Structure 1
Amino acid sequence: MSLSAMSSMPAMSTAHPPARLRPAVAAVLTLAALLSACATVPGGGVEASASPAAAPGAAASAPAGKPAAVAQAGNGSARPATAPGAPAAAPAPGQPPAFAVLTKDAKKIDGLLGVWQKDEKFWIELSEQDFGVPLFLSPKIASGIGEGSVLGGLMASRWGVYGGPQLVEFRRIHNQVQLIARNTDFIARPGTPEARAVSAGFSPSLLASAPVASLAHPERRTVLVEANALFQGDLLGLGMALQQKYRQGYALDGRNTAITTVRGKRDEVVLEVLSHYATATIAVPQPGTPAGAPLPTTPLTLPDARSLFVRVNYSLTRLPDQPMAARAADGRIGHFVATTSDFSDDLLRSPRLRHITRWRLEKKDPAAALSEPVKPITYWIDRNVPLKYRDAMRAGILEWNKAFEAVGFKNAIVVRQQLDEANFDTLDTGTASVRWMVNASPSFGAIGPSHVDPRSGEILDADIAFESLSSRALRNIRSQLLTRTAADWLPLLQAADARREAAAREPASAHAHAAGEACQHADLAAEELGYALDLLQLRDGLDPAGPEAQAFVMAYMKDVTMHEVGHTLGLRHNFRASRVYGERQIADPEFGKSHALTGSVMEYAPINLARPGEREAAPFQTTLGPYDYWAIEYAYRPIAPAQEAAELARIAARSAEPELAYGTDEDNYLGIDPEALHFDLGDDPVAYAAKRLEIVRDLLARLEQRSLASERDYGVLRRVVSYALRDVGRSAGVLARQIGGLRTLRDAPGTGRDPLQPVPAERQRAALDLLARGVFAADGLSLSPALQRRLAPDFLERRDALEEGAGSVGTDFVPQQVLIELQRALLAQLMSDGLAQRLLDAESKVSAPGQSLRLGELYGRLDREIWAELSGKGDIVAARRELQREHVNRLAGLLLNPRGLTRADARSFVRVQAQELLARLQAAGKRTGLSSEARAHLQDSADSLREALQAKLLRTGA
């Protein structure tokens, strides 16, 4: 029978054919399917479908990873399988239903990709041209649980606890559609043998898959794939993240997970998925669990810890047809980078290409010295931001226009306010935003992440989030519920080997921190804000509810906004910027009106507090620093392609200018650079630390005399003392970093400066002296018994903490124990192997003897200060015994573990010091005037040293 004859036969119902006709009907349908999959080709022949089992009217299946080819008629136009308007033919057995059947009574949502909805079912309409095309998948946590990094309004980040943005494509293999995450980290020039090698060497990832849901549309040749199957899975790995965080069996509950909303735009489609995670049972800590082992916990914010919902926004957008011109990164200036390994040229030293991340900014009038951009960088202030903070945030965003004007852009940044009745979400891709986040406890204060085009580093989206608990209204809760102590302000003291161990335990978070993805600026600044408000209220009579205090908070809000906007413009932290100005400039109120307090708002700067009796200067940064202008110039100055390399080299060559000093997260993270650290201010770190310690002593003295009104509670005293002691920890950290510090400059050759510079010996000695007098000395910091008896908790908050399982608000508060923890942390650093190595190595880096601090000098000063009571006649109080015992334990530990100190010279110093201390302990134990506790302490310390010195050690090596 000819094809034309078959097409002229009367239609036959195939829904319920008589039993005797069913085999014949099936045969006819199968033959029709085969013939309809053929197309006339030039010369009158036919071309067979690639797959005999292809659905009637469907495109031929393509090889894996390739879009299916459209069957073409001889004139080059698509040949419809069914005449327009004709009823859809019923599918063959085992084939999906016809397009019209599946979409009957369904609603069409137009956008980048058409989406059809019928009740709870959603289908994405895909043409043959949509397969294999890269799309940008940008996930956002629209609503979370207020803790555990599952926070509503948070942009998913690649280095977070769950998955981040991906370059994806739809791939059809026969009748299965896969959502594939492309591997963008490894590339080669298309069409080359190297590109084939890269394709064979590195794999993409499968995110989800679903069968083709319909036959091809008879005219558009499109098919449907079920969106529920593709997007209702755990694409971000939140179940795994919850398991790791809480040690519970959380997993996605697919039955109670649903797509709730789909929004379509011409260049975007957004699917909003409400995901349910659950566990059937709650694990509890088991008896006999080894000390330090992770214990199961539960989220404290849920009505029932077995169940939680997370709403995720998945935005799919088309990448720009023409990638933005990439701009090479330079290590002398701090920009985030998009890194790929390009194997096109195997003669290069490294295949890695590093391009800075930046917005696409082009002049409307390229010839004009100052021109508006073709498309400005637009920040939307979300409607959930409290009214009172919007003006300060707007001012912080627009402050960056000053830097863009310097490179030729007028109004490069604009700010818009989302209206309450707006029908869009500021989380949608391409809508940079500032949002307000309400969490159960402070996590980061504020954060400024961005999503970028991996091909070029173009920033496609950014969503800044502010935590509500950063505001001054809840500073009391922050102080009393946070478990952070003075010693916790010493992460910068951690030796490099200890940092590596920490990174091995939590590689993702460590990588994020070192790469600058994690930002604690607002969280730490909020702590400083609370301390400063209490200090100024007590010392200068500041009304915490008055306009001066409100202006103080707004200045803080602008400062934090500028910092986070800087991140979303592509700038990394600059922790060396605090060294740009001297104390005289910083303390001048007029200077702060027109200048930043540091070289960059990307610094973690402390609040600029005045000494007792001095005029208050500008407390926060209210404008950009010189480094910020420089970094924006490198990233955004329009440069002709032919001149770009030379012009960028010229800009970066200014790195040796003092106001452009730069050091970033890894410089701080590695723990040896004395300048790239948090919360120092001014060009003399020892003078800065001395000033802050003076402020603390004055504050504690004022607290001794403070009387509280009957309507107040004693919790305020505990809060202020806690803040003060933590500020001591910050100051001690600044000082400790100077000892054995190695200044690491990012200069290129030709600046006249050596890139590795040991800290001058006189600065190290000054820092050690201040630590000895201000932290280790018996009279360094003290509180009277009367004041300590008044440091009661806020009893309502204590109850809340116990109910929530926090347990961090105890009844008693002993400041001396806080100081002991700080002293222990300092000893751990000052007696560490890493510091010993640096001091010994520094002797070979200086030009003359005496220009470096010697290891024996450090150990001797610690011994004299810690054991000062051995040369006196009085008793030894409990706090001093604690410190001395810590010193003895460290000496004994180093004696018993030769691997604890790498260098032989260091081990020799420890042994000699232990022998000398043992003799002094034995002599002091015989004197009169000692309490029984002190006498036992001296005897026990002597026994520990004696046994360690006499122990037989198994020595390794020659």
Structure 2
Amino acid sequence: MSPQVLGKPLFLSPKLATGIGEAGVLGGLMQSRYAQVGRPQWVEFRKVQQQVQLVAVNSAYTAARGTPQAKAVQAAFSPSLLAAVPLASAPDAKTGAVLIDASALWLSDVLGLALHLQRNYRQSYGFDPRQSSISQTRSSEQAAVFEVTQHFATASIAVPTPGAPPGTPVSTVPAAVPDPRSLFVQVHYTLTPLPEQPMPRRKADQRVGYFTSTVADFTDDLARTPRQQFINRWRLEKKDPSAPLSEPVQPIVFWLDPTLPDAYRATITEGVLAWNQAFEAIGFHNAIEVRTPPTDTPFDTLQTGHASIRWMTNAQPAFGAIGPSHVDPRSGEILDAHIALESLSSRAVRAVRSQYLSSSSLPLNGAADATPTVTHAHPADDFCMHAYTAAEQLTLGLDMLAAQGALDPDSPEVRAFVLAYLKDTTMHEVGHTLGLRHNFRASRWRSAAELDDPVLTRAHGNSASVMDYAPMNLPAPGKSIEQGGAPFQTTLGPYDFWAIAYGYSALPAEAPQAEQALLAIAERSAAPQEAEALAYGTDEDNLLGVDPQALTFDLGRDPVAFADRRIAIVQDLFQRLDRRVPAPRDDANLPRRAVGHGLRELARVGQVLMRQVGGVVTRRDAPGSRRDAIDPLPAAVQREALGRLIDHYLAPQALRLPPGLQRRLAPDFMALQDAVSLGRLDASVAELQLSLQRGVLAPLMSEGLAERLLDNRDKTSDREPRPLLPQEVHARLMAAIWRASPLAQAGSDAQAAERLRNLQREHVTRLAAMWLRPTSNRADVRALVWQQAQQLQRWLSSASSRATDATTKAHLKACLETLQSALRASVVRGGG
């Protein structure tokens, strides 16, 4: 080791070269900077007496070098030791270089994979250094690469405890390895020098969605906060700064990994290069390039600096596609990025499209019954579900073309459909690798009429951004897909152009002018003519669960119109399933899977409608925009959404699957023989409907919604003469569930009567729980719960005395006893 290396800032980039195809241990996966262990690091080699240490520098806390504050920071915050090795020789007399045993540095579980395996499988996996080895090393002026084959093993396999209570964590084993007691993972480490001159930082702005790097800079004691956030972006500079359009000094290059199938390379290339339109708009010609690695010389697409796109074959769908990156923590400069596309998602899309086009078959997504298995600490960066959910959306495709008979999955129509999906996915993931976060507000850009315009949507897109999770744009029942708008987003939207302008536009050299130029770009978000197109809301906006505009799987400006069409599409799907005469060569599992996908779509639509009730629009505007930062939805919009929820989800006829169709909902018997838990063979429509209704009833009855409705009343008292209040919500629920529905007497619709009783039992149980275990201390909320309980108690007492059907009478008396017992019991306070 040369003395020049000691103390030099280096970047350690870990990746998994090979994995086990499940549990997030996936070959080709770039390790996350948000992971608990094994993240990319700014590191240094330090000589301490007779050993060399590999130390991770604490880059999160800083102060100007040479200042007293820098000494205080050094005293306050510790670095971390990643590995240490004793010197194997004295320093060379001429060069001062020393020998070390590199195997001692790298033959350890730096990534913490043993702990990850233990947590996922609840088995005693441990790192086995004796059967681990450094399989390859190579170095150049740009990088030093170490490929380490790591062995993990356990001497015994834990099995589930017989008779364990429900909910007890269960031990499992990896299904994709020959012997679960032993597995190998190859870890790829790259050490590269960090740039001698860090890239100039660019300030993050809440109005524009970029991943950020954050430091606490204690240099200025008068600053309001030491916390500084700057965006992550590639270093992009013009060769000719004075030219209106110039090639970059160094383009952003994406390498097509040899794992990519030949059939998809051209479309993936199109998806990558589509972003050049946004860069050309700010003066860069050919800012992004796509290259194929040479075949006559070794080329490592995992090496830092070689941004790549690869194909992954995992045992189960884990994410569909993912686009993480590694950045210089000092400046936010993106140093490396790797996009991974899963083969199972594309395979499912091709199968679905062949049935979508056929009038003798029905939609099916073969992979969609599996749930994603990868979890990450930072969902916005590491856990992108765009490709997976886009593939599942295809299961709602209806046989809209007049062609008879099944279509060949390799037909031109099928191929074009698959490639459109793949381009959409590629553009989304490339956006992540350019630094962009999700924008879940972009899907509201178009009106319903615009979404049906095939010319408009194919030329300019369905959404204001490719960074949204927009559902597939499906036409209304009775129209073919060719008559409707573009199914996928295959072009950049206006938000994408604007976001790239913020992150990559050349700025004046002087700091005040540069800040003003950047501010001018950001302020466009509130301009009246651009506000709709540049609106931004991301993962945390969606996860907070109150903003009706920043959410996933909605499409169009009118959420109720979107819900009406989506529900009609699912109902039409069920009708087609019932009418279709099965053929001998059909897939017997197709009806069950198609019904499952339709039900999941109904659940998603229910959440879109639910977000409107009590919805509060949160705007990321800067002061002076003249728009309210917190803006409750108009009461009329909320009432319309509430009406749809009651009509489509809480009515007894909400989910009607004909008996003949129910008898065709066969399970996949070949899959059952490999299943750890068999579940049940048949599908219970009553349970399915109740599950949908619980997803709607729980938030509508929640005390949190009641509090928000009361707060919204206060916020809009100067403009809303008749706000939606919790009393109205509960009264409409009471009428829909109890009073407006006839008592199930003998001779009435037995199926509808049973579904109604299930919903009534759910309602009374929740009302009793709200009284016994309150989560709100608001007086009006507690009074509302008491009032509803008293009213229902009186109604149940009267109705049970009038009921003549034995089942109905028993049901009503049981509900009455549940409510009376709750009202007599002591209240358990759950609030603060």
With structure 1 as the length reference, what TM-score do the two structures score? 0.81
Tell whether the 8 Å contact from 1:870 to 1:920 is kept in structure 2 after alignment: no
Aligned to 2:425: 560
CA distance in 2, matches of 1:956, 1:338: 38
> Which amino acid letter does the alignment assign opposite residue 621 of structure 1?
Q
TM superposition shift of 1:923:
2.4
Which range moved further: 254-263 or 537-546? 537-546
Count of equivalent residues: 803
- Choose from 834, 837, 840 the match for 2:707: 837
Tell whether 2:710 aligns with 1:853: no
**Which one of 123, 126, 132 corresponds to residue 257 of structure 1?**
132
Supply the distance in 2 between the matched residues of 1:420 and 1:708 (Cα, whole angstroms): 50
Aligned AA (2:619)? L
Trace 1:721-740 onto structure 2 (pairs within 5 A): 721-740=595-614
Which residue in the other structure is 1:247 paired with? 122
Change in 2 beyond 3 A, CA 1:177/1:732: same
Separation in 2, partners of 1:895, 1:422: 73
- Distance in 2 between the 1:531 and 1:269 partners? 49
Shift of 1:797: 2.6
How far apart, in 2, do the equivalents of 1:405 and 1:957 lie? 55
Alignment of 1:68-147 (within 5 A): 126-147=1-22
Distance change in 2, residues 1:477/1:675 (3 Å): closer
Instruction: Report the counterpart of residue 759 of structure 2 in structure 1.
Output: 883
Give the Cα separation in 2 of the matches to 1:235 and 1:942: 61
CA distance in 2, matches of 1:162, 1:827: 41
Q: Is the 8 A contact 1:169 1:182 kept in 2?
A: yes
SS of equivalent to 1:440: coil
Shift of 1:418: 2.8
Determine which of 451, 455, 458 is the counterpart of 1:593: 458
The Cα of 1:455 is off from its aligned counterpart by 0.7
The answer for the alignment partner of 2:681 in structure 1 is 811
1:512 lines up with 2:512 in the alignment: no
Superposition map of 1:367-382 within 5 A: 367-382=242-257
1:493-544 per-position Cα deviation (integer Å, ceiling 9, x unaligned): xxxxxxxxxxxxx9x967512x444211111111112333x65579998836
Q: Is it true that 1:912 corresponds to 2:783 in the alignment?
A: no
In the alignment, does 2:482 pair up with 1:482?
no
CA distance in 2, matches of 1:468, 1:135: 35
Preserved contact between residue 400 and residue 478 of structure 2 (Cα < 8 Å)? no
Q: Distance in 1 between matches of 2:186 and 2:705?
A: 48
Report SS of the residue matched to 2:3.
Answer: coil
Q: Could you say if the C-alpha distance between residues 365 and 479 of structure 1 is closer, same or farther in structure 2, counting changes exceeding 3 Å? A: closer
Match of 1:620 among 475, 488, 495: 488
Cα-to-partner distance string for 1:223-268 (whole Å, 9 max, x where unaligned): 0111110011010111111111111111100101100011222210
Cα deviation, residue 926, structure 1: 3.2
1-structure distance, mates of 2:405, 2:466: 29
Quote the residue 1:938 is aligned against. Answer: 812
1:634 matches 2:502: yes
1:789-818: per-residue Cα shift (whole Å, max 9, x none)?
A: 011123223323x2xx2546x421223322
Counterpart secondary structure, 2:755:
helix
2-structure distance, mates of 1:303, 1:605: 40
5+ residue gaps, structure 1, are 1-125, 485-505
Q: Does the 8 A contact of 1:444 with 1:467 survive in 2? A: yes
Structure-2 residue corresponding to 1:669: 543
Query: Offset at 1:422?
Result: 5.0
Structure 1 CA distance for aligned equivalents of residues 210 and 823 of structure 2? 52
SS of aligned partner of 1:939: helix
- Letter of the aligned partner of 2:736 in structure 1? E
Identity of aligned residues (%): 51
Q: Which range is displaced more, 830-839 or 864-873? A: 864-873
For 1:827 and 1:957, the matched residues in 2 are separated by: 21
Structure 2 match to 1:68: none
Matched position secondary structure for 1:334: coil
1:185 counterpart = 2:51:
no
Q: Which residue identity is paired with 1:635? A: G
Superposed displacement of residue 892, structure 1: 0.7
Give, in whole Å, the separation in 2 of the partners of 1:302 and 1:155.
21
Q: Rg: which structure is higher?
A: 1
Q: Which residue of 2 aligns with 1:194?
A: 69
Call closer, same or farther: CA 1:420–1:851 in 2, change over 3 Å: farther
Counterparts of 1:543 and 1:709 in 2: how far apart (Å)? 15
Deviations 1:821-857 (A, max 9, x none): 1211222211222212101111100024544211011
2:300 to 425, 432, 437: 425
Q: 1:941 to 1:747 in 2, by over 3 A?
A: same
**Whole-angstrom distance in 2 between the partners of 1:530 and 1:309:** 36
Give CA-to-partner distance per residue, 1:658-681, whole Å, 9 cap, x none.
Answer: 210110111001111111000100
2:416 to 551, 564, 571: 551
**8 A contact 2:24–2:375 mirrored in 1:** no
What SS does the corresponding residue of 2:130 show, helix, strand or coil?
helix
- Amino acid corresponding to residue 543 of structure 1 in structure 2: L
Secondary structure (helix, strand or coil) at the match of 1:886 reads helix
CA distance in 1, matches of 2:489, 2:677: 35
How has the CA–CA distance of structure 1 residues 286 and 841 changed in structure 2, closer, same or farther, with 3 Å as cutoff?
Answer: same
Q: What SS class does the counterpart of residue 225 from structure 1 fall into?
A: coil
Secondary structure at the aligned position of 1:277 is classed as strand
* CA deviation string 1:345-404 (max 9, x = no partner): 111111011110000011111110000011100001111011111111111000000000
Mapped contact 2:317–2:371 kept (Cα < 8 A):
no
**Equivalent in the alignment of 1:704:** 578
CA distance in 1, matches of 2:830, 2:547: 33
Contact 1:673 1:744 in 2 (8 A): yes
In structure 2, runs of 5+ residues without a counterpart are: 353-363
Matched-pair contact (CA < 8 Å) for 2:350–2:415: no
TM-score w.r.t. the length of structure 2 is 0.93
What SS class does the counterpart of residue 12 from structure 2 fall into? Answer: strand
Which residue is 1:896 aligned to?
Answer: 772
1:300 matches 2:168: no
- Amino acid in structure 2 at the alignment position of 1:460: L
The answer on 1:450 being equivalent to 2:325 is yes
Partner-residue secondary structure (3-state), 1:129: helix
User: Using the alignment, how far apart are the partners of 1:420 and 1:890 within structure 2?
Assistant: 65
SS in structure 2 of the partner of residue 651 of structure 1 = helix
Offset, 1:952: 3.4
Whether the 8 Å contact between 1:383 and 1:420 is mirrored in structure 2 is no
Task: Say what the alpha-carbon RMSD is for the aligned residues.
Answer: 2.1
**CA 1:443–1:535 in structure 2 vs 1: closer, same or farther (change >3 Å)?**
farther
Tell me what 1:90 maps to.
none
Task: Report the alpha carbon displacement of residue 919 of structure 1 after superposing the two structures with TM.
Answer: 2.0
- The AA in structure 2 aligned to 1:304 is D
Counterpart residue number, 2:523: 653
C-alpha offsets along residues 706-733 of structure 1, whole Å, 9 cap, x if unaligned?
A: 0122111321111211111111111111
Give 1:924 shift: 2.3
Aligned position for 1:283: 158
Compared CA separation, residues 950 and 541, structure 1 to 2 (3 A): farther
Q: Which of 588, 604, 609 does residue 469 from structure 2 map onto?
A: 604
Counterpart for residue 359 of structure 2? none
Question: How much does 1:477 deviate?
Answer: 6.7
Is the Cα contact below 8 Å between 1:452 and 1:459 reproduced in 2?
yes
Report SS of the residue matched to 1:611.
coil
* Cα distance change on mapping 1:347 and 1:290 into 2, 3 Å: farther
User: Quick check: 1:162–1:241 contact (8 Å CA) kept in 2?
Assistant: no
Match of 2:741 among 849, 869, 874: 869
User: What pairs up with 1:289-328 in 2 under 5 angstroms?
Assistant: 289-328=164-203
Is the alpha carbon distance of 1:462 and 1:629 closer, same or farther for their aligned partners in structure 2, counting shifts above 3 Å? same
CA contact (8 A) 1:146 1:438 kept: yes
